[in-house]
Chains A and B, each alone.
Chain A
Amino acid sequence: MTNHGILAIVVASVLVGTGSAAGALDTSARGELGVEGRVFTTDTDDRTDDYNVAVSGRVDVTASGAAVRAKMRLFGRYDAVDGERTVLVPEEVWLEWRSERFRLRAGHQLLNWTATEAFHPADVINSRLFDSAIENPDKFGEPMVSARAQLGDGNVELMFMPVFTKPKGPSASSRLRLAAPGLAVDRTIHTDDDGQVDDDTFVPQWALRAQQTFGSADVSLHAVRHIDRDAPVIYYDPERAEVIALFQPLTQLGGTLQMASGSVVLKLEAAYRMFEPPSGTIPYLPPVPDRDYGLVAAGVEYGLVHASGAGSTLLCEAQAALDYPHEADRLAPLFQRDLLLGYRFAFNDEDEKSLVVLVIDDLERSEHFMLTGRYSQRLGERWGIKAGFQWLHFPARDPAMPLGFEWLDDADHIHASLFRYF
């Protein structure tokens, strides 16, 4: 965790603690502490870990007064096998001042701009921890100052993000890495607006988003100018013997739509991404092609209720990359032309049992698919279990040089966790 993350936690703790002690703030807290494990099919490679055992927890404390609020939500994990998976993440650590139709918030914030379940072209602000759920990776809180004004049945929000929060990739021994076994990113750098390498963590970035409800439809539009967090150029520097991930400045224009009609919810996400190319000579950096492109994800969710009160939900989503240059294939987004089909069964009983099955299929290479199954239920009032499996079938086109998801081929695994909630 970074110094500014620690500072934010200390400030929030003091605010929440003193406000509560003085009786000026109402506080509420929730959290969970659990043991989790996952086991992969053996790959007979000593450089990788075929299993992980970890203790993880999340605590979420909110303190509210008449015009001020503070929130602290932290996620932590200690992995006994892979030390690189041990993290302490400030997801939300912020202080807020608000009036009837305006709010100003400063600190680490966790945004969720997505409309769809698995493809998230619009949801780009927060950096991810990539050794987590592939279709919905965990996120880092983004340090920012945001100002929001309520307008009609929606709002307009301006965000200023002064820090480039580096994404955290899988370790060299992780089975969910998108690189060769034993290989991991040693250093993360980014270029500035002039295309020059910039090691400074402080980078002025901003975003503007407007959201409005029109009848049964929720519509949002956004513009983001920041350092990209998803698609780095990975290269090797033989002088330093380092694998380097270089992120480029990115301007993104996009939007989302969620619309309910009868038993159906329609979802749409779209984004156009414009990368600022590196300029000049960056030692050992291979040529980086221009790769401005669009991403469109659309989906439909159909729900039905059974006579028992249980509910079924059918999901169908697809994502396509538009105008993506073939010469930049090695930098392509993970889901370029993919289809998701899913089924969720909620027992709606006192144990909140739930079963989810999802399959994501590559429409261009139909032999590429990912099958996911998840089950969860409450055990009594304070305990819960989650368990599941993932079957990853991504045979490489060129076995000598796999690309993207192809590194995950045969990283099939099962996972289970037991949580105590408080």
Chain B
Amino acid sequence: MKKLAATLLLACALPLALAHSQTPEEKGLEIATAAKKANAGYVGESSEMEMVLINAHGDRTERRMVSVISEAPDDGDKSRIEFLWPADVKGSRMLTWAHKDKDDDQWLFLPAINRTKRIAARNKSGSFMGSEFAYEDLGSQEPEKFAHKLIAEETLGDRSVWKTERAPLNADSGYSREIVWLDKEYMNPTKIEYYDRKGELLKTAIFSDYRKTGQWWRPFRIEMANHQTKKSSVLTWTKRELSVTHNAVLFASDELGS
């Protein structure tokens, strides 16, 4: 009887022991990889977006853009953003070929001078269109580009989430670390806190208005609040379609200005 009880105890305890044998770092990476996998397979995306910039006095200015994304199963995605508003930047386009294990390739087309320029993609901490979003906030979030760690499993509002920490491996990132609340159903973040290079809390992003398109959940609203400047920016999608197959020419660098 004692032998049977001991066997049962071992059988129950082993998975727990194995689970606990994973370090928080391994578990964090596993969650990030699972999230990447859950969001994969969408083939391509077409979006129309609006962004409202709100300064410390509450003044609001608007930006509009459209984007297309083509999924690359073995590497980072290819994306192209065209700016529609304000009028002076209308027609400017940015093309990014994201990579898992090296710097992204990036080009900018400026209609005013009718020129496509290759740009250094490592400087991703710069402001995106004068907003509180940095380029690295909106780019491809490949798990391989961060060191991950699971902090806790908890609820945020009424949502069940993993709370993880990830540290950018790119030394040129504007962040020392990010705290991510990853929704277990959406397999996407509902909140991210960004800490600057000095370790101070810099910004908080709230992801909301999640909608299911096919098998994938996507946020239709991101609000980014900068705690240091008291400015904020709200990005909303007026259209977001998945499973779209784009012509490869759309992502050719030499066609960006065509």
Chain A contacts to B: CB under 8 angstroms: 28, 30, 32, 60, 91-92, 100-101, 103, 110, 112, 114, 136, 150, 153-155, 211, 213, 215-216, 218, 258-260, 262-265, 301, 303-305, 307, 309-311, 346, 348-352, 378, 381-382, 384, 419, 421-422
Taking a contact as CB atoms under 8 Å apart, the answer to whether A150 and B119 are in contact is: no
Q: Which residues does chain B contribute within 8 Å of A32, judged by CB atoms?
A: 87-88
Taking a contact as CB atoms under 8 Å apart, the answer to whether B86 and A382 are in contact is: yes
The CA-CA distance from A422 to B123 in the complex, in Å, is: 31
Residue interface mask B87-103, A partner, CB < 8 A = 1 = 11111000000000011
Q: Which residues does chain B contribute within 8 Å of A28, judged by CB atoms?
A: 91
- Name B89's closest neighbour in chain A (CB-CB): A352
The CA-CA distance from A381 to B87 in the complex, in Å, is: 7
Q: Measured between C-beta atoms, what is the minimum distance from B132 to chain A in Å?
A: 8
- Name B102's closest neighbour in chain A (CB-CB): A216
Tell me which of B91, B103, B115, B249 contacts A114 (CB under 8 A): B115
Taking a contact as CB atoms under 8 Å apart, the answer to whether B103 and A30 are in contact is: no
Tell me which of B91, B119, B123, B252 contacts A153 (CB under 8 A): B252
User: Can you name 24 A-B residue pairings with CB atoms under 8 Å?
Assistant: A60-B111, A100-B247, A112-B115, A150-B252, A153-B253, A155-B254, A216-B102, A258-B117, A260-B122, A262-B103, A262-B172, A265-B118, A305-B126, A305-B172, A307-B197, A309-B125, A310-B126, A346-B126, A349-B127, A350-B55, A381-B62, A381-B85, A384-B88, A422-B87
Query: How many residue-residue contacts, CB under 8 A, span A and B?
Result: 122
Q: Measured between C-beta atoms, what is the minimum distance from A420 to chain B in Å?
A: 9
Q: Is B244 an interface residue (CB 8 A)?
A: no
Q: Which residues does chain A contribute within 8 Å of B88, judged by CB atoms?
A: 32, 352, 378, 384, 419, 421
Taking a contact as CB atoms under 8 Å apart, the answer to whether B120 and A154 are in contact is: no
Q: Which residues does chain A contribute within 8 Å of B253, judged by CB atoms?
A: 153, 213, 218
The CA-CA distance from A136 to B110 in the complex, in Å, is: 14
Q: Which residues does chain B contribute within 8 Å of A114, judged by CB atoms?
A: 115
Q: Measured between C-beta atoms, what is the minimum distance from A107 to chain B in Å?
A: 14
Taking a contact as CB atoms under 8 Å apart, the answer to whether A218 and B118 are in contact is: yes
Q: Measured between C-beta atoms, what is the minimum distance from B61 to chain A in Å?
A: 5
> Which of A100, A301, A305, A384 has the most chain B CB atoms closer than 10 A to its own CB?
A305
Task: Say whether chain A's binding surface is mostly helix, strand, loop, or mixed.
Answer: strand
The CA-CA distance from A63 to B204 in the complex, in Å, is: 41
Contact of A265 with B119 at beta-carbon distance under 8 Å, contacts A211-B254, A351-B130 already known: yes
Taking a contact as CB atoms under 8 Å apart, the answer to whether B105 and A216 are in contact is: yes
Q: Which residues does chain B contribute within 8 Å of A218, judged by CB atoms?
A: 118, 253
Residue interface mask B231-251, A partner, CB < 8 A = 1 = 000000000000000011100
Taking a contact as CB atoms under 8 Å apart, the answer to whether B87 and A304 are in contact is: no
Taking a contact as CB atoms under 8 Å apart, the answer to whether B114 and A30 are in contact is: no
- Name A352's closest neighbour in chain B (CB-CB): B130
Task: Beyond A150-B255, A260-B105, A303-B119, list 18 extra A-B contacts (CB 8 Å).
Answer: A30-B111, A112-B113, A150-B252, A155-B254, A211-B254, A218-B118, A260-B103, A260-B119, A260-B120, A262-B120, A262-B122, A262-B172, A309-B126, A351-B130, A378-B88, A381-B87, A384-B88, A421-B88
Q: Which residues does chain A contribute within 8 Å of B189, judged by CB atoms?
A: none
- Name B118's closest neighbour in chain A (CB-CB): A258
Contact of A264 with B120 at beta-carbon distance under 8 Å, contacts A153-B253, A305-B174, A378-B86 already known: yes
Taking a contact as CB atoms under 8 Å apart, the answer to whether B130 and A311 are in contact is: no
Q: Is B121 an interface residue (CB 8 A)?
A: yes
In this complex, how many residues of chain B approach chain A with their Cβ under 8 Å: the count is: 47
Contact of A263 with B86 at beta-carbon distance under 8 Å, contacts A112-B115, A350-B130, A381-B61 already known: no
Q: Which residues does chain A contribute within 8 Å of B62, judged by CB atoms?
A: 381
Q: Which residues does chain B contribute within 8 Å of A262, judged by CB atoms?
A: 103, 120, 122, 172
The CA-CA distance from A301 to B103 in the complex, in Å, is: 17
Q: Which residues does chain B contribute within 8 Å of A382, judged by CB atoms?
A: 86-87
> Which of B115, B119, B253, B254 has the most chain A CB atoms closer than 10 A to its own CB?
B254
The CA-CA distance from A382 to B61 in the complex, in Å, is: 11
Q: Which residues does chain B contribute within 8 Å of A303, judged by CB atoms?
A: 119-120, 123
Within 8 A of A (CB), among B121-141: 121-127, 130-131, 134
Contact of A348 with B90 at beta-carbon distance under 8 Å, contacts A100-B249, A211-B254, A263-B122 already known: no
